[in-house]
Amino acid sequence: MLGKLIKYEWKAVSKICLIVLLSMAGLTLLGSIYYRSPLWSGVMNGETGDLAEDMMLPFFMGLFSFIAYVILMVGLQYGMVLYLLIHFYRSMYGDEGYLTHTLPVTSSQLLLSRIFVGGVWTFLVSLLGIASVSVLLTAFMMGALQGTGLSAGDYLSLLRETLQGAGIPWGTYVMVAFLSAFVGAFANMSLFFCGITIGQLARKNRGLMAVLGCIGVWGVEWVVSFAAQMLASLGGMVYTLENGSRQMPTVSYYVSVVVSALLGVVTYFLTRRLIDRRLNLT
């Protein structure tokens, strides 16, 4: 039955989520075309590497467009998450909730199906966002420095040197970024669903209370993650001082991933318990 719920939930939200993905891909394509066009290429002096005197206006226009692009991309990602949360509220605690809770399924199946579908879409959008920013930033820099003799490999080497200088192994950085996006996608769905469920316990203004519930669980998650990161950083500093190493222990970089996963599990069980014992559809 869980598979059928996932299939139904996927169909219910896929249209809007797919529009978001296509919009992000379209923005990336348009931005890449612009930054590889004569309008942008060559704004840096090929001999000195400084900004060409007659390219001030194109440079600032390109910089402004890149900032606007980042804002649009962030807006699309958070917009999709907001849509998923509204859909969860309506289908679980709104008018649709009366029908949802009459289905011959358990609260675990209802909750897991929504966490899974929401997490998959959030993860896909996160991956596309990272890839999009990387592609556009590369086009931005390569177009600006066309003629200086620098290549994409030079940028990659510079990034690696920067990370290594900060004591962060390149492989660890990539792995942590991937795990953070993957685990965070599902854990955040569980966290916000918990906040919405806590909010629906109110007798009045349940929509507003659901929003406040999301803010509350986000605040708790931030405090716990911050405290864990501080302890991990302190432990890493002590380790580096005692061992005379420039690099912090690798495990310290995974703290945020572990904390996110644990909070996701805790909020899942809390949400399920509230649905089973404190469901309020009045």
The model's pLDDT over 78-115, given as tens digits with 9 standing for 90+, comes to: 999 999 999 999 988 888 877 887 888 888 999 999 99
Whether pLDDT at 239 is above 80: no
Per-domain boundaries in the chain: 1-150, 165-282
Whether pLDDT at 245 is above 60: no
User: Average pLDDT for residues 26-40, to the nearest whole number?
Assistant: 76
pLDDT of residue 31: 79
User: Average pLDDT for residues 225-250, to the nearest whole number?
Assistant: 67
pLDDT of residue 197: 92
Neighbouring CB atoms inside 10 A of 70's CB total: 15
More confident residue, 222 or 154: 222
Whether pLDDT at 244 is above 60: no
pTM equals 0.81
Residue 35 to residue 38: CA distance in whole angstroms: 8
pLDDT of residue 49: 46
